[in-house]
Structure 1
Amino acid sequence: PPIRAAALSDPHGLAARIAPGSALTASASTVSFSSFRRLVQSRNLSFEPAAAFSNPGPAPELEPEPESEPAEIPSAEPSPPPAATHPPPQLRPKRVHPNSVSEAPAAAAEQPKRPRGDPGNFVRLNINGYGRKKSFKSQARRPTKYRSWKRQQPGGGKPRAGADEEGDFVAEALLEREKNSAAGDDGVLKVVEVAREDPSEQNLEGLLRKVFGYDSFREGQLEAIQNVVAGESTVLVLPTGAGKSLCYQLPAMILPGLTLVVSPLLSLMVDQLRKLPAFLPGGLLASSQTSDEFHGTLRLLRAGEIKVLFVSPERFLNEEFLQIFGDTLPISLVVIDEAHCISEWSHNFRPSYLRLRASLLRRKLNIQCILAMTATATTQTLQEIVNALEIPSGNLIQTSQIRENLKLSISMSDNRLKDLMLLLKSPPFVNMRSIIVYCKFQTETDYVCKHLCDNNINAKSYHSGLLMKKRSRVQELFCSNKIRVVVATVAFGMGLDKSDVEGVIHYRLPESLEEYIQETGRAGRDGRLSHCHLLFDSTTFYKIRSLSHSDGIDEYAMSKFLNQIFSSGNTMGCICSFPKESTSRKFDIKEEVLLTVLTQLEIGEEQYLHLLPQFSVTCTLYFHKTSPQLLADKDILLRSILNKSEMKDGSYVFEVPRVANDMRITMNEVFDRLQKLKFSGELSYELKDPAYCYMILKRPDDLNALSANLTKWLSEVENSKIRKLDAMFALAYYAVKGCKKTDGCSGSEHTPCIQKRIIDYFSKKEGTPDDDYCTPLRKSSTFLQSDIKVFLQSNSFAKFTPRAVARIMHGISSPAFPAATWAKNHFWGRYMEVDFPVVIEAAKAELVKFVGKGE
């Protein structure tokens, strides 16, 4: 059986429990099946009414687990066969449904059966339409006995809500972890105990050999591991594929408590979970999990059967989640993967990461040790990480961010599709077995992949628009060398367990040097010579640079948005909310930018509000049995709901925050009560309008000053993103136009000069211009003013801001002016080659004239 987390923190206690003659000295197959059965019991994959509730918000509220023991499952041990004089007859093997969960190859152990009336049995047999009992039609068109039975079951035989494709993908990963766990080994426990007592280099290398199979550490790994084991917070910067995961996996075996890993992508978490060593039990909590799966993971945590837990930053920052861990589960280490996302000056910062602060971790979870890991970070980004997590600057471990075994080449391309085909059919790429082609957009990815397949190149596309299982299948085929080329967006390669990728081709210009290094770093992880090529053209640069302006906000829109947040109707200390989609469209601000502003109001110099989990806040109630008034007489919550509801076609529509404030309870408690009534058959409900929820802690003294400061801050973040793109363009332009072919550069191969400029970039302070910096953007245009005037006159029905006009001229979609509506306009994207601020100023001047004339 797999070694339990409790065993790693108390090996002697485990040794006592598995001593000869104890109850745990059963056969390996019996113990393994019992362990597997416990996992099935804790996950409870059968249909339960509680799992039918699914909140459509991207970061659902977590519910604390009720304090109750799991129900006893009948033993699956086969009873001894009765004595017989004749050998038993040969039985035909029973057909097993592809979705069933069983312990292969334990044919002798019969799976425990559920009672006939349990709806879980029905749903499990009928998932995806397989194994369905035949439905016999009645000539009188009356329901048959089977139909009547099905109709009586809660849920009417429908699949459980929340059993979506991503949830199944996570469940499969958890089952795979259980099945692949190795048998316990006293030798491992002894090595762990020795390393715990004395974490010297010799003892840590002994643990490395015993568990991970490596003879020695790579550069930076040993120092990081020793820091973490000693309880010292550390920032670790290692190149892609240099073994960052080992730096928390090995300490997790030594440290007594839980290791919590905050990771940005579900697919990345699943990959990391699957790659944990067999002696290190792990689990994950994702928003796509059902309530049963979530509580099952919590049960395993409380039982000490999980040592490493992967969570998303959104889930990690949930109040209920923090309370559960702060009260019951000791955490020895918090690992923040892709830590560059913490900094707004990084190439890929996220609002949820922005909220990760040392003060929150220490206050809520009593965390004393933090390990922040990234593959690429500039000097300013590293300083932001150190400040946010309060890590001593002396505990920064950084190695070279580029690998010496990569040959880097860049060529100017007027026809990228044709040149890509030429590359793949010419040396050195023609002889490579594994190549990644990186594109920018999903449609472009599919188009390039189709073109390659039409030309007899074995290729598959990979992007976030594909189903999770299909993405997993593509990655599996690529790792097993059954696909030669994967055409992918930036998400592909994070956590990719394939060391023999021989080539990386960039079909489009990366958005930053950090992105370029990360993606090229997926080649040559085995230390062999690998090749990376960039197809460079200025048209791509124009498009990507235009998109860099999509997150900006005018001060006028910011002021209106802040007025809505702090409106007089929003009382301090009460739950407030606003729907994401309609608010985004109203102010022409992207949803993620709205969240960024809210986050800044929470973590800025002054804390104006406290962010709550996202909910769908508009609820429609349908009563089925008892009169609503009779139910309200017995239930004070229903009484409040009826008082604050609006009648529509016999249903009751209300805002959940209003009811929660009226009752002085949380929104989770409102949903819990509605769930109980739903299970009793009294009512059903629907949720809509996903919203950002918050509580006002303090009102700003000067709303205009706050608006100006936030607008300026967002403008600086936007400019930082643009400078990163310009630096990438400057490097590529220098390689194809300015390189003097010295220091080993020849033809399109520019490894020496590219490496030198990358080193200079990461050592510079943010905002320092390049000496030979240049972009092809124009600072003026002869017909810009007149075209804007014609555009305003022909679209006088719309209300434009200068930024909205500039976005249309640059071909940038926005919530209020989406590409689906405006891309057919004659002026869409016409002035992409003119610098965006120049277009804004021209639009501002024309709008003043237009409004002054009263047009």
Structure 2
Amino acid sequence: MVFRSNGNGEGNFVKLNLNGKRGKKFPSKYKGVSKSRSSYSFRGKRYKKKEADGDGESLLEEESDLQKQIEDEANGFISSVEDAILAVKTEASDENLTKLLNLVYGYDSFRDGQLQAIKMILGGSSTMLVLPTGAGKSLCYQIPAMILPGITLVVSPLVSLMIDQLKHLPSIIKGGLLSSSQRPEEATETLRKLKEGIIKVLFVSPERLLNVEFLSMFRMSLSVSLVVVDEAHCVSEWSHNFRPSYMRLKASMLFSELKAECILAMTATATTMTLQAVMSSLEIPSTNLIQKSQLRDNFELSVSLSGANRMKDLLILMESPPYKEIRSIIVYCKFQYETDMISKYLRDNNINAKGYHSGLPAKDRVRIQESFCSNKIRVVVATVAFGMGLDKGDVGAVIHFSVPGSMEEYVQEIGRAGRDGRLSYCHLFYDNDTYLKLRSLAHSDGVDEYAVGKFLTHVFSTETKQYEKICSLVIESASQKFDMKEEVMQTILTHLELGEVQYLRMLPQLNICCTLNFHKSSPNTLAARSAIVAAILKKSHVKQGLHVFDIPAVASSICVATTDVLAEIQALKMKGEVTYELKDSAFCYTILKSPKEICSLSSHLTKWLTEIESCKVRKLDIMSSAAVAAISVSNTSELSSGAKQTRSLQSRIFDYFNGDEKCDSPSKATQNCAFLRADIKVFLQSNRQAKFTPRAIARIMHGVGSPAFPNSVWSKTHFWGRYMNVDFRVIMEAAQTELFNFVDRNAALAT
């Protein structure tokens, strides 16, 4: 008898005694089994015994027999699993591990790469694991979690992914979740279970993992056997999905702060360059790389050239064999508005479809995913937000409505089809206009050296040079002032913390402006009892009877953490003494060292950020080139899913992931334009009041908004998006020349 996860997070047994001592308590989904192995009680339906009725006695006897059968099966299963775990602890042989696999998961053998990874981890060797989407990477930390004595920490980039992984954790292992988006009471309950040793596998966001209080708790009282970095490509700035918070996950921190014994880094898609960066950061030896083919062989891949009639082309495809017989299909789009538009179009044509994107309420996203998994919805039209952790093996087709942003994105998304091993179909509609639009958007995170210099001057201003003082940078106003996205500012600050020189230390992000209203006791009475309240009165200004103050300023004035100030006002609120409101989300940090030359540092940072920007553009160009090549081999613009296109795309994918990512892939963007400089000149003359940079002008000409030049304002100019087909760098160079000429002309007129 095999007890597996039932898919709702409440398996047959929530906790198994993994420490080798029998007689532990753990709940069962069988109502007839109590929480203790040694004494069971049946809480099923009670039957009222009729007087002189033999049938009533018979029912009770049957009930008793059923109870005994359940007890025997439960006891036998638990004993078998505990014996299997003990056997693996004694000798981690293939035979012992396979027996444990069979008992817990019901499988007779491991998939390619799984057994090797598990044995390396049990041997204490940090490992880099690259397996295709749906190839069972999670099992590679779940089995070690049963064997290893300490906690297994799983660091994951998305809360939705963590929830899904927790839900599908084998029910014999107790799991928990911590993220920055949790309610305080949820986090408190999880921390309590951690301290009591109830939780064996903890899913945690990188932001929460790096929290000072969280790290302190692990240093003092908890043992970490294994740290799992899921979606490990996010560690590398050269990946298709770089996350600044992941950049802080370095081996030195994981080993020194958490005392971790071993690291497992996992991803489904990574180029050679990305793997080298991840393994270097996590100090994983090159000999400890387990890499299997990143693309399964049960796909039929096809591409067709499309344009203004793409929705009609999609409908024709879905009404043609083999797609019309396929029960579950995912259609991927690049923009949220497309998901609603396309799903409605499909419904209007009698195809059961629903749109899915990150802008939908969480409950709606869950409902749509569950309906898709239970085959109540045939087609999900989604952005990249859909599919991570999707537990559905019979997806028969994945259709890309437009070209993906990278080979990694393409491989990851088509990998959600055919997990049951059956032949699956993947079609891509290639549209040159969408490619050019995506190429423009790839430049949206880029920055000029001028803007980086202004940003650094602010970060290291005279006001912040008091070392260990808590400094803050209000995100919304800074974003507009420096014309930088929040993610870009976070990336720069993270680099200043983790680069070759540690210039600052990042603190938890928070809303720094507090408006406080006193209700019961007078402010002075509370100040006499609390140094924090006294500091608040000194640092606040009173506006209409309300005390308004800056939390970092109060914390710095009495040398306490911002969390201490928040805890104090929260405690006062619980007592009914105060109410308060928080606003102005900000990055918080303390300066450790000032740079000798701001100019030199800004030049270095700009070069690094420009390389990241170019990497994004190059990835899109390579994906576009592969799609165009596949179209050319079929020698037709009609819908095609022939063997020639499959071989062409497979070859390109193999070369990309196993060769040089920097291989030449010519852009389809125009490299010059006769009227460009003339139009820039007219644009500058028409907008004399604005302060432009070459990048700002290039963005407007490409139809891309930014914090300082938002779409809502600048899309009204007739130059908006006019030169989307011209290479972004070409426009920047022309804009720089015209800006110099414009300044010179104005200076001449002024004299």
- Same fold, TM exceeding 0.5? yes
- Is the CA contact 1:579–1:692 (under 8 Å) kept in the aligned structure 2? yes
Q: Tell me the equivalent position of 2:215.
A: 322
- Confirm or deny that 1:360 pairs with 2:370: no
- Matched residues in 2 for 1:455 and 1:3: separation? 46
- Matched residues in 1 for 2:76 and 2:253: separation? 39
- 2:367 partner amino acid: R
- Matched residues in 2 for 1:421 and 1:216: separation? 41
Q: Tell me the equivalent position of 2:299.
A: 406
Q: Tell me the equivalent position of 1:733.
A: 628
- The structure-2 alpha-carbon separation of the partners of 1:321 and 1:32, relative to structure 1 and needing over 3 Å to count, comes to farther
Q: Tell me the equivalent position of 1:485.
A: 379
In the TM superposition, residue 746 of structure 1 has moved relative to its aligned partner by 7.3
- Matched residues in 1 for 2:712 and 2:215: separation? 41
- 2:685 partner amino acid: Q
- The structure-2 alpha-carbon separation of the partners of 1:184 and 1:819, relative to structure 1 and needing over 3 Å to count, comes to farther
- Confirm or deny that 1:371 pairs with 2:264: yes
- Confirm or deny that 1:416 pairs with 2:310: yes
Spell out the pairing of 1:27-426 with structure 2 (5 A cutoff). Answer: 29=31, 32=34, 185-414=78-307, 415-426=309-320
TM-score normalised by length of structure 2? 0.90
- Confirm or deny that 1:551 pairs with 2:559: no
- Is the CA contact 2:134–2:415 (under 8 Å) kept in the aligned structure 1? yes
- The structure-2 alpha-carbon separation of the partners of 1:746 and 1:265, relative to structure 1 and needing over 3 Å to count, comes to closer
- Confirm or deny that 1:776 pairs with 2:668: yes
Spell out the pairing of 1:549-628 with structure 2 (5 A cutoff). Answer: 549-570=443-464, 571-628=466-523
Q: Tell me the equivalent position of 1:142.
A: none
- Confirm or deny that 1:827 pairs with 2:714: no
SS of residue in 2 equivalent to 1:495: coil
- Confirm or deny that 1:514 pairs with 2:408: yes
- Confirm or deny that 1:7 pairs with 2:3: no
SS of residue in 1 equivalent to 2:253: helix
- Is the CA contact 1:407–1:749 (under 8 Å) kept in the aligned structure 2? no
- The structure-2 alpha-carbon separation of the partners of 1:724 and 1:625, relative to structure 1 and needing over 3 Å to count, comes to same
- The structure-2 alpha-carbon separation of the partners of 1:748 and 1:797, relative to structure 1 and needing over 3 Å to count, comes to farther
SS of residue in 1 equivalent to 2:463: coil
- Matched residues in 1 for 2:461 and 2:616: separation? 33
In the TM superposition, residue 183 of structure 1 has moved relative to its aligned partner by 10
- Matched residues in 2 for 1:544 and 1:795: separation? 27
In the TM superposition, residue 300 of structure 1 has moved relative to its aligned partner by 1.3
Q: Would you say how many aligned residue pairs link Structure 1 and Structure 2?
A: 703
Q: Tell me the equivalent position of 2:66.
A: none
Which of 751, 758, 773 is the aligned partner of 2:653? 758
In the TM superposition, residue 447 of structure 1 has moved relative to its aligned partner by 0.8
- The structure-2 alpha-carbon separation of the partners of 1:183 and 1:709, relative to structure 1 and needing over 3 Å to count, comes to farther
- 1:299 partner amino acid: R
- Matched residues in 2 for 1:190 and 1:826: separation? 74
**Which one has more relative contact order, counting CA pairs under 8 Å at least 6 apart?**
1
- Matched residues in 2 for 1:310 and 1:713: separation? 32
In the TM superposition, residue 753 of structure 1 has moved relative to its aligned partner by 1.3
- The structure-2 alpha-carbon separation of the partners of 1:33 and 1:713, relative to structure 1 and needing over 3 Å to count, comes to same
Q: Tell me the equivalent position of 1:527.
A: 421
- 2:744 partner amino acid: G
- 1:608 partner amino acid: Y
- Matched residues in 2 for 1:416 and 1:379: separation? 35
- Give structure 1 regions of 4+ aligned residues with deviation exceeding 4 angstroms: 1-6, 24-35, 181-184, 738-741, 745-749
SS of residue in 2 equivalent to 1:465: coil
Q: Tell me the equivalent position of 1:850.
A: 742
Provide, for residues 659-703 of structure 1, a one-character-per-residue CA deviation record: whole Å limited to 9, x for no partner: 101111001111111122222222211110000011111111121
- Is the CA contact 1:411–1:748 (under 8 Å) kept in the aligned structure 2? no
Q: Which moved more, 1:658-667 or 1:677-686?
A: 677-686
Q: Tell me the equivalent position of 1:720.
A: 615
Provide, for residues 715-735 of structure 1, a one-character-per-residue CA deviation record: whole Å limited to 9, x for no partner: 001111111111001101111
- Matched residues in 1 for 2:77 and 2:560: separation? 47
SS of residue in 2 equivalent to 1:335: strand
- Matched residues in 1 for 2:220 and 2:15: separation? 19
SS of residue in 2 equivalent to 1:534: strand
- 1:14 partner amino acid: R
Q: Tell me the equivalent position of 2:329.
A: 435
In the TM superposition, residue 229 of structure 1 has moved relative to its aligned partner by 0.9
- 2:653 partner amino acid: I
- The structure-2 alpha-carbon separation of the partners of 1:537 and 1:302, relative to structure 1 and needing over 3 Å to count, comes to same
Give % identity.
56
In the TM superposition, residue 835 of structure 1 has moved relative to its aligned partner by 0.3
Which of 701, 713, 733 is the aligned partner of 1:841? 733
- Matched residues in 1 for 2:571 and 2:163: separation? 33
- The structure-2 alpha-carbon separation of the partners of 1:318 and 1:6, relative to structure 1 and needing over 3 Å to count, comes to farther
TM-score normalised by length of structure 1? 0.79
In the TM superposition, residue 32 of structure 1 has moved relative to its aligned partner by 5.0
SS of residue in 2 equivalent to 1:774: coil
Provide, for residues 506-554 of structure 1, a one-character-per-residue CA deviation record: whole Å limited to 9, x for no partner: 0010000011100111111111111100000111110000000011111
- Matched residues in 2 for 1:537 and 1:676: separation? 58
Provide, for residues 624-649 of structure 1, a one-character-per-residue CA deviation record: whole Å limited to 9, x for no partner: 22332333233322221111111211
Which of 349, 354, 357 is the aligned partner of 1:460? 354
- 2:240 partner amino acid: H
- Matched residues in 2 for 1:272 and 1:489: separation? 20
- The structure-2 alpha-carbon separation of the partners of 1:538 and 1:659, relative to structure 1 and needing over 3 Å to count, comes to same
- Is the CA contact 1:380–1:766 (under 8 Å) kept in the aligned structure 2? yes
Runs of 5+ in structure 1 lacking a partner?
19-23, 36-76, 86-180
Q: Tell me the equivalent position of 1:686.
A: 581
- 1:383 partner amino acid: Q
- 2:460 partner amino acid: F
Provide, for residues 786-814 of structure 1, a one-character-per-residue CA deviation record: whole Å limited to 9, x for no partner: 21122122222221111111101101111
Q: Tell me the equivalent position of 2:7.
A: none
- Matched residues in 1 for 2:555 and 2:200: separation? 37
RMSD: 2.5
- Confirm or deny that 1:767 pairs with 2:662: yes
Q: Tell me the equivalent position of 2:68.
A: none
- Matched residues in 1 for 2:12 and 2:321: separation? 47
- 2:431 partner amino acid: D
In the TM superposition, residue 503 of structure 1 has moved relative to its aligned partner by 0.4
- Matched residues in 2 for 1:597 and 1:481: separation? 45
In the TM superposition, residue 28 of structure 1 has moved relative to its aligned partner by 6.9
Q: Which moved more, 1:553-562 or 1:672-681?
A: 672-681
Q: Tell me the equivalent position of 1:648.
A: 543
SS of residue in 1 equivalent to 2:293: coil
- Matched residues in 2 for 1:259 and 1:643: separation? 46
- Is the CA contact 1:2–1:183 (under 8 Å) kept in the aligned structure 2? no
- The structure-2 alpha-carbon separation of the partners of 1:28 and 1:4, relative to structure 1 and needing over 3 Å to count, comes to closer
Provide, for residues 253-275 of structure 1, a one-character-per-residue CA deviation record: whole Å limited to 9, x for no partner: 11111111011111111111111
Q: Tell me the equivalent position of 2:702.
A: 810
- Matched residues in 2 for 1:836 and 1:710: separation? 20
- The structure-2 alpha-carbon separation of the partners of 1:183 and 1:704, relative to structure 1 and needing over 3 Å to count, comes to farther
SS of residue in 2 equivalent to 1:7: coil
- Is the CA contact 1:433–1:484 (under 8 Å) kept in the aligned structure 2? yes
- Is the CA contact 2:27–2:34 (under 8 Å) kept in the aligned structure 1? no
- Matched residues in 2 for 1:363 and 1:31: separation? 44
In the TM superposition, residue 182 of structure 1 has moved relative to its aligned partner by 11
